[in-house]
């Protein structure tokens, strides 16, 4: 089974302006992201994006805008040699109805694990909000909380050094 790094998008991969990334021209990858993704892939992990996009439910942007942003991110990752295994998003917002897919629910992670044969016990969820880690925990995935718009390379180094310290069986 595969090991994966599940990544929240806004605030982890790209700059989170605090009021939704609505269009491609507002999507700016954070400075250390591509280096961190390279470290994860070199460490044997697949990469999966897990993101809430509640602005869709609020009518601030649509599925087409999210698709354009994700296609752009996929191209950047391919060019970096760090392809995304999958991208999952929930278009729901609790002010407009309940959804099992929205984080802190674990359904998006569970779907990725089932589809791609990912071992939750060997995987990590990285997010900038407690709900990201709650989603991971619900699927049996350990989590790391990082600052909004923080340094993803620091998280990568921490995870990879933890794995190097584990005894080999």
pLDDT in tens, 58-107: 999 999 999 999 999 999 999 999 999 999 999 999 999 889 899 999 99
DSSP code of residue 167: P
Catalytic residue among 10, 16, 46, 132: 10
Q: Is 46 a catalytic residue?
A: no
Q: Is 8 a catalytic residue?
A: yes
* CA dist., res. 28 & res. 9, Å (int): 11
* CA dist., res. 135 & res. 116, Å (int): 18
Is it the case that residue 165 has pLDDT exceeding 80? no
Is it the case that residue 169 has pLDDT exceeding 80? no
With a CB cutoff of 8 Å and minimum separation 6, the contacts of 144 are 124, 125, 126, 127, 133, 155, 158, 159
What tens digit of pLDDT does each residue of 133-142 get? Answer: 999 999 999 9
* CA dist., res. 109 & res. 138, Å (int): 9
pLDDT band of 166, cuts 50, 70, 90: low
* CA dist., res. 86 & res. 75, Å (int): 13
What tens digit of pLDDT does each residue of 13-47 get? Answer: 999 999 999 999 999 999 999 999 999 999 999 99
Cis peptide bond N-terminal to 104, omega within 30: yes
Cβ atoms of 4 and 125 within 8 Å: the answer is no
Chain mean pLDDT for the chain: 96
First-to-last alpha carbon distance for the chain, in angstroms, is 17
Catalytic residue among 8, 46, 128, 132: 8
Rounded alpha-carbon distances, angstroms, from residue 72 to 49, 65, 66, 78: 13, 11, 10, 10
pLDDT band of 167, cuts 50, 70, 90: low
From the options 3.30.565.10, 3.40.50.300, 3.40.50.1000, 3.40.50.2000, give the CATH code of 4-143.
3.40.50.1000
What tens digit of pLDDT does each residue of 63-72 get? Answer: 999 999 999 9
* CA dist., res. 43 & res. 156, Å (int): 10
Cβ atoms of 60 and 22 within 8 Å: the answer is yes
């Amino acid at each position: 089974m595969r090991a994966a790094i599940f990544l929240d998008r806004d605030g982890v991969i790209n700059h989170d302006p605090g009021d939704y990334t609505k269009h491609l021209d507002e999507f700016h990858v954070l400075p250390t992201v591509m280096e961190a993704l390279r470290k994860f892939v070199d460490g044997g992990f697949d990469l999966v994006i897990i993101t809430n996009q509640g602005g869709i439910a609020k009518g601030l942007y649509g599925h087409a805008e999210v698709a354009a942003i994700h296609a752009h991110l996929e191209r950047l990752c391919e060019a970096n040699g760090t392809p995304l295994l999958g991208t999952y998003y929930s278009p729901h917002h609790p002010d407009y109805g309940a959804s099992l897919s929205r984080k802190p629910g674990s359904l998006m992670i569970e779907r990725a694990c089932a589809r791609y044969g990912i071992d939750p016990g060997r995987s990590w969820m990285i997010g900038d909000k407690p709900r990201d880690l709650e989603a991971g925990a619900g699927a049996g995935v350990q989590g790391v909380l990082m600052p909004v718009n923080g340094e993803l390379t620091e998280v990568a180094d921490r995870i990879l050094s933890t794995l190097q310290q584990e005894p080999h069986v």
